[in-house]
Chain A
């Protein structure tokens, strides 16, 4: 990517960020009610009014928006009513956990998905292709939360191999030696990562198979074969390099879906990440926190798309836009 193209792409992303921020703000703030409308007999109307005034909810919407943007420009994401603290602190605390869960699962499912898809395409309609395609279509059709729920039911409750949820064993974790503490973390990671990987992998492998099927009949593959390049090297070096580009485009579509998926996974396994934070914030009618999670979530999608574009340009010399 040339420097001008790069600048243009970044500028585009910035506009998208602005659009997203505006949409999320107005959708959430124009909803009936506000964070201080909850039932509590001890809070008098006067106190409610004061709370509203304190957090700027008594002003007209456009003015609220101006205030919000002004604060945002200064790195202030607002005040979380349910967490009794700045929103940025809750986000900073939970975001890394979500990134760890999503990142690990994404890397695993990309790796496995690409390998499976390529193998399927290499021996099309062979026993491996048929068998794995069937399984993948099944996993592809599983709703995220249900797949996770079943994993939880079988491997944590019925057959108690793994802990049922959380990130660490709360009661003892702080007193464990480094190595057992690490194992404790690992044990809590297994079920969420495994279910998330399996659910994501299915889509990736399906794409990879289709992409490879399109690449394999190409002229350059035939040329390589005619030159006597070993079959294995044709598949994994020549064809795969071209066959990888659709997957990178797919990533762009995949990111929003991943973010939705991780919310359900976190909810089922009580993983204290941003998805669970968002789900709880919404129930608590914590407006600023909800707005912030939607914006940060969208930012992750936008950054992810940018990265996918760069990767695309690196891998595919035809796309040096």
Chain B
């Protein structure tokens, strides 16, 4: 599948191209050279090969996306499980707090924190994760509500299951399917978001090439260096598209309610549309 191809491409690219993404062969003569056989995607303002940078950037963008979503999925699932299972005042309080978090525009918050604190790559991943779990939490809590009083839950409780085993062994497996789908869709989302932040100059910092930060070297040149803007963008679109298609496919497979309707149900897509 295209996604596997992208991942393999990014990994291989990293091995093969390695250093050449930061090599500057001829800063004067090769500056902003258009695509050619030697440089498939042309070169940027520092004469670096854009193709090599796109391949290397892929490894960085993909890992940012995967780790951030892993983080937000774990936090969101835990929060949703606890809120849904606890019920009563605890639940009300937790959900109100969540409403508050959700009302803060994610992009504005990220920009503010990133600019004022200037954390490194790890910090960026953590922040992307920390601002991305609200939808998952809401989704999981809704799922838990629907099975909170199911017979098997009541039975497990009657048998004296501890809260931890209740959440982990009995409730978690039943909320896993939509969580997996939303995580898949989330990866594409985060990659696009990181690219946007890099475009504002606060994502992954140069010379580290994430797909977003490659742009920055072409932004001042517009049409005269269109290849620096086009190719990394196409890489992002291809990746996000792959994750979205994968997410849609997973939803069709994983959701038993979808036997007759082979397409997404509205309630199951927590995050929409762009960051």
- Which A residues fall within an 8 A CB radius of B? 12, 15-16, 19-20, 23-24, 27-28, 31-33, 137-138, 140-146, 149-150, 153, 157-158, 199-200, 202-204, 206-207, 209-211, 213-214, 217, 246, 249-250, 253-254, 256-257, 259-261, 263-264, 267, 278-279, 282-283, 285, 290, 293-294, 297-298, 301-302, 305
Tell me the bound Cα distance from A202 to B226 in angstroms: 26
Interface residues in B151-210 by Cβ distance below 8 A to A read 188, 192-193, 195-196, 199-200
Q: Which 9 A-B pairs have the closest CB atoms?
A: A203-B273, A19-B100, A260-B107, A31-B116, A143-B192, A246-B266, A141-B240, A141-B241, A259-B105
Find A141's partner among B97, B188, B230, B267 (CB 8 Å cutoff). Answer: B188
- Which B residues fall within an 8 A CB radius of A? 96-97, 99-109, 111-113, 115-117, 135, 188, 192-193, 195-196, 199-200, 215, 222-223, 226, 229-230, 233, 236-237, 240-241, 244-245, 260-261, 263-267, 269-275
Least CB separation from A211: chain B residue: B266
Also in contact, A301 and B200, with CB within 8 A (given A141-B237, A210-B264): no
User: Closest approach, in angstroms, between the C-beta of A263 and any C-beta of chain B?
Assistant: 6
Tell me the bound Cα distance from A8 to B169 in angstroms: 37
In the complex, 11 of the A-B residue pairs with CB atoms within 8 angstroms, ordered by the A residue number, are A141-B240, A141-B241, A149-B229, A158-B223, A203-B274, A207-B272, A260-B275, A263-B108, A282-B115, A282-B116, A294-B105
Find A16's partner among B96, B117, B260, B271 (CB 8 Å cutoff). Answer: B96
Give the residues in chain B near A254, CB-CB below 8 Å: 272-273
Give the residues in chain B near A149, CB-CB below 8 Å: 199, 215, 229, 233
Least CB separation from B118: chain A residue: A32
Tell me the bound Cα distance from A223 to B113 in angstroms: 56
User: Closest approach, in angstroms, between the C-beta of B217 and any C-beta of chain A?
Assistant: 14
User: Closest approach, in angstroms, between the C-beta of B101 and any C-beta of chain A?
Assistant: 8
Give the residues in chain A near B111, CB-CB below 8 Å: 263, 278-279, 282
Give the residues in chain A near B103, CB-CB below 8 Å: 16, 20, 256, 298, 301-302, 305
The reply to whether A294 and B109 contact each other, CB–CB distance below 8 Å, is yes
